[in-house]
Amino acid sequence: MTVRGVFPGRFQPFHLGHLEIVKWALEKVDELIIVIGTAQESHTIVNPFTAGERMIMIKSALIEEGVDMSRIYIVPVPDVLMNAVWVEYLKLYVPSFKYGISRNPLVIRLFRDAGYEVLIPPAFERDKYSSTKIRLLMMANDPSWRDRVPKAVARVIDEINGVERLREVSGVD
């Protein structure tokens, strides 16, 4: 039987810490379901990228890293605003899975309450690899954000004028 894990996140943007979690998870499961959460939202300070843009970022980064894509599912999932039913809702969008994979305390609790085992990955330089911090660097027009994301992700952000978009929606001059 194929053992699958589900790794949810907003990936705004997908960074090197996320990439390390994917590689870590693939040592524990046969297949990994990467769930792009808050799929319905884009063009905001907190969620600047569309679900489709995030799918391309993730796929491009994993291919560039040499990840076996036959072991990966990338599934966008819109929000449901009821935490108590979130796992049941998630199951409507993804293949069956054995493990939830997260460091987020709420997500861990929701998986456990729904009867799933949870794999908690190590914190891969969490102080450096934070999507919030990366977006702040982008809004400040600080090019060091590029050192925190896979090269493929930086290319996608450049192609979609992501820094300009984020600066515009944030009202930064």
Tallying the residues shown for the chain, one arrives at 173
Q: Give mean pLDDT, residues 38-49.
A: 97
**What is the per-residue pLDDT across 76-117, written as a single tens digit (0 to 9) for each?**
999 999 999 999 999 999 999 999 999 999 999 999 999 999
pLDDT classification of 125: cutoffs 50, 70, 90: confident
- Does residue 14 have a pLDDT over 90? yes
- Does residue 173 have a pLDDT over 90? no
Using CA atoms, how far residue 9 sits from 14, 78, 137, 140, in Å, is 9, 11, 20, 24
pLDDT classification of 47: cutoffs 50, 70, 90: very high
- pTM (two decimals): 0.96
In the beta sheet, which residues pair with residue 171? none
Q: Helix 162-170 crosses helix 131-139 at what angle (to 10 degrees)?
A: 80
Can you give the pLDDT at residue 88?
A: 98
The upper half-sphere exposure of residue 138, i.e. CA atoms within 13 Å in the direction of its Cβ, equals 30
The structural domains of the chain, ordered by start, are: 4-170 (3.40.50.620)
Can you give the pLDDT at residue 124?
A: 87
